[in-house]
Amino acid sequence: MPDARMIPSLADSEMAAAALARARVLYTDVDGTLLGRGACLLADGEGAPNLDAANAIAALNGAGLPVVIVSGRNARQLREMTRLLGWPDFIAELGCVRSYDRGARVVYDTGDWPEGSLLPDETPYEAIERVGAVEMLQERFPGLIEYHDPWHVDRDVTHILRGNVPIAEAQAALDALPLPVTIVDNGIVHPLHHTLVGVTEVHAIHLVPRGTSKQHAVSADLRARGLGAADAMAIGDSAADVSMAEMVGLVTVVSNGLRDPKLLECAAGFDNVVATNASHGSGWAELASAWLAARRG
């Protein structure tokens, strides 16, 4: 099993220092990264009151440094969140929805789906539902996967579930469907309640059109901004976040993400991944502080 100690510390990495000095945009995950326990900006990983992330957001906004949320959450949630945080752009539904200038321009991505995949007036979300993807997984893995209530509503493209299933086996089952759908493990979550059976470590699990991803969306967003990979960095707590290392100069993992073996396995394939000493929003603030210091330097 990969060892968390193989990922260098943000504070000790010369590579990270150079990347921070050049970075012009930060792509950030939300749950388990920017937010603490209970998806709260003002709480740490244990749920205690904490202002580190809020203060860091204010500092970055004051310096004019752009932050773009890249999340599995839906566009309605992120539109309100970015308004509250002072950020005009976001990437929702694991890269399938890109929104600019507070929703003035919205771009949808269905990846490798061939033309004609959708019925008249059908959304991609409805198409995944039509081919029975969720029902098939629930039948194959009874008690191990369910909708991630209440975050599964108001979605345009992807389905979000929670549980813990063997991803390779689940993908093989999905490959038999008439529409190409990919299953993505988006990291550990701590739902207040669930009806799962025998699941001690709950993960957020997404069903997305094949060919879509956070890294694909980040690459498209960078092109839209006229920037390259070396001009960008990302922060997160899951393997899906670490995969953005293909498209940016630096990926930082908040320390709580180091408990996820899937993240560690993914990180082993990159040399531009570092980790914070602090967890959740305090780890996010650690990166923000380092970015501000590198820009001043």
Give the residue among 5, 25, 15 at the shortest CA–CA distance from 247: 25
Please state, in angstroms and rounded to a whole number, the distance separating the CA atoms of residues 134 and 242.
Answer: 26
Task: Report pLDDT for 1.
Answer: 58
Task: Report pLDDT for 33.
Answer: 97
Please state, in angstroms and rounded to a whole number, the distance separating the CA atoms of residues 203 and 21.
Answer: 34
Categorize the per-residue pLDDT at 297 as very low, low, confident or very high, splitting at 50, 70 and 90. Answer: confident
Cβ–Cβ contacts within 10 Å for residue 297, how many? 8
- Residue spans per domain, the chain: 4-66+213-218+227-296, 124-209
245-285 pLDDT, tens digit each: 999 999 999 999 999 999 999 999 999 999 999 999 999 99
181-232 pLDDT, tens digit each: 999 998 888 898 999 999 999 999 999 999 999 999 999 999 999 999 999 9
Task: Enter the pTM of the model.
Answer: 0.88
4-66+213-218+227-296 topology per CATH: Rossmann fold (3.40.50)
How close are the terminal C-alpha atoms of the chain, in Å? 38
